[in-house]
Amino acid sequence: MSSNPYAVQSTEYMTGPTVGDAESVRRMYLNHEASVKSIGTLYYLGGFFGLLAGVLYLGIGFVALTGGLSGQQAGENERMIFAVTMWVFSLFVLTLTGVQLWTAYGLRRLRPYSRIAASVIAGIGLLGFPLGTLIGGYVLYLMLSAKGEFVFSPQYRAVIEQTPHIKYKSSIIVRILVGILIFFLLLGLFGAVLSLIGR
């Protein structure tokens, strides 16, 4: 018998669990499932603000091209360079946002590809000390732990299909992380608006 308790569960339910078995397995992994799906919600939220930022940079580029943000002293070449820089940055932000939204969609539906994508995003996020390190470390735990592997498996998907009456609630840790993220995103957006007004 394997020493890994999660591996036992995954092979046991390959043959098809009974409703009673499915309920016990679902409840055993429900907190982990809820946390994973909550990270998907968190990524959706980040994607929303990413879309706003991308559109904002795009707009700044167009306004700068007309001289609206560059002042009277800036020449046409300088305005063009600044505008193109903003457009390139907007494209970069919108591309990352698209990846994040695609990952969020998969996490909410426990798609296996999203486990890999979220791990990559979280790994990059580790560089953003201290907040990014904390969030990234937690996401990596959710994705790469034995429970995370089973939650994304076809066996667990079969368990979910047999237990639609069992609902989950977002974990308190994820709620705190969402609150922190909203605070910093709003703070950054407020700072960007003030910067534009002050020009």
pLDDT tens for 6-23 read 444 444 444 455 667 999
* pLDDT score for 73: 56
The per-residue pLDDT for 69 is 57
pLDDT in the model for residue 10:
45
pLDDT of residue 128: 86
User: Residue 75: what pLDDT?
Assistant: 76
DSSP for 132-163, please give it.
HHHHHHHHHHHHHSHHHHHHTSHHHHHHHHH-
pLDDT at site 74: 61
Using CB atoms within 10 A of its CB, is residue 78 exposed (0-12), middle (13-18) or buried (19+)? middle
Q: What's the pLDDT score for residue 170?
A: 63
* pLDDT score of 157: 95
Q: What is the pLDDT of residues 134-150, one digit of tens each?
A: 989 999 999 999 999 99
Residue 177 has a pLDDT of: 73
For the chain, give every domain's residue range: 23-197
Question: Which residues in the chain show pLDDT less than 70?
Answer: 1-19, 68-74, 169-171, 174, 192-199
Q: What does the pLDDT read at residue 148?
A: 97
Residue 1 confidence (pLDDT): 46
CA angle 176, 100, 116 (to 5 degrees): 95
